[in-house]
């Protein structure tokens, strides 16, 4: 495919306006595996309207631009696109219902060579239309595996956070369910890689894989449980790298190192698929209040 990085860097994305409500928040929580245990009263407030809480990771689906990599004018080999990294900065706690808007922009494209692909970084700032407040900033990195080698000067990968080499202070194991990707996609990410067995096989996978952002949601649940007593308002900033895909139905172990940084409010983490015995999220950093 003919890929023009300058065109993509200058491409104008439409401003997306989205109105969401309590039902959407509950659907999102189900799509990241909350509510699997119907007797877990700590999870219940995320999937039940009485005293509803909003997971901080729901930020990633707000005013989402959709699967733009598949649009014809971009000329990406979209079947081979993978989510490589994510950063979230929370400016305000997420309301249970709101009308929000954001405009996606491509900020960086790095050629990692024909065998690896192109790293493409985008960001969007999600704003509450009624109050004018910025709710969160999302910085997303994708790896376009079929679009490297376009001739630009190669650049090193973005600097990543270091996970300690010591044993973690705590681990948290959370299951996913076989239909989790089919539930999660209803929150707005309709990449068929996560639903169609044929497309998944064409991309080199044995079955549809879980959205990286659904894995991120499971991990956020683990961090809320272990570090924040299920208080979503304590999340301030998070960064991570996706290192391997998860298949729906696998169990995700989040390894946690507490009290990093001068004030002890920084947490390092990574995640492993127990079934694959493989790291699936690495270089995790969380700042809490």
Write the pLDDT tens digit of every residue in 91-148: 999 999 999 999 999 999 999 888 999 999 999 999 999 999 999 999 999 999 998 8
77 catalytic residue (yes or no): no
Determine the average pLDDT of the residues in 80-86: 91
At residue 263 the predicted structure's pLDDT band, cuts being 50, 70 and 90, is confident
* In the predicted structure, residue 152 carries a pLDDT above the cut 70: no
117 catalytic residue (yes or no): no
At residue 155 the predicted structure's pLDDT band, cuts being 50, 70 and 90, is low
Which of these is catalytic: 106, 209, 281, 288? 209
Which of these is catalytic: 148, 212, 217, 284? 212
Residue-wise pLDDT tens digits, 200-228: 999 899 999 999 999 999 999 999 999 99
Which of these is catalytic: 64, 83, 194, 211? 194
194 catalytic residue (yes or no): yes
Which of these is catalytic: 31, 89, 189, 281? 189
Which domains does the chain show, CATH number per domain? 5-288 (3.10.129.10)
189 catalytic residue (yes or no): yes
Predicted pLDDT of residue 91: 98
Predicted pLDDT of residue 157: 53
- Distance CA(124)–CA(63), nearest Å, equals 9
* In the predicted structure, residue 151 carries a pLDDT above the cut 80: no
């Amino acid at each position: 495919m003919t890929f023009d990085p300058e065109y993509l860097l200058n491409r104008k994305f439409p401003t997306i306006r989205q109105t969401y409500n309590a039902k959407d928040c509950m659907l999102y929580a189900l799509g990241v595996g909350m509510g699997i245990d119907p007797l877990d009263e700590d999870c219940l407030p995320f999937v039940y309207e009485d005293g509803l809480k909003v997971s901080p990771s729901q930020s990633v689906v707000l005013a989402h631009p959709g699967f733009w990599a598949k649009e014809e004018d971009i000329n990406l080999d979209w079947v081979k696109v993978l989510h490589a990294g994510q950063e979230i900065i929370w400016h305000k706690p997420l309301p249970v219902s709101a009308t929000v808007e954001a405009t996606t922009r491509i900020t960086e494209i790095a050629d990692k060579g024909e065998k690896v692909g192109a790293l493409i970084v985008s960001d969007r700032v999600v704003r509450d239309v009624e109050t004018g407040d910025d709710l969160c900033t999302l910085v997303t990195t994708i790896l376009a595996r079929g679009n490297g080698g376009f001739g630009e000067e190669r650049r090193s990968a973005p600097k990543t956070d270091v996970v300690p080499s010591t044993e973690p202070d705590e681990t948290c194991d959370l299951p996913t369910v076989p239909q989790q990707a089919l539930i999660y996609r209803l929150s707005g990410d309709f990449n068929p890689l996560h639903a169609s067995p044929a497309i998944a096989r064409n991309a080199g996978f044995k079955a549809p894989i879980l959205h990286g952002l659904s894995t991120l949601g499971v991990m956020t649940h683990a961090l809320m449980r272990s570090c924040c007593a299920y208080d979503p308002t304590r999340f301030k900033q998070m960064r991570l790298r996706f290192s391997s895909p998860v298949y729906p139905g696998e169990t995700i172990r989040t390894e946690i190192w507490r009290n990093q940084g001068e004030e002890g409010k920084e947490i390092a983490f990574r995640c492993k698929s127990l079934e694959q015995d493989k790291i699936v999220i690495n270089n995790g950093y969380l700042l809490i209040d």
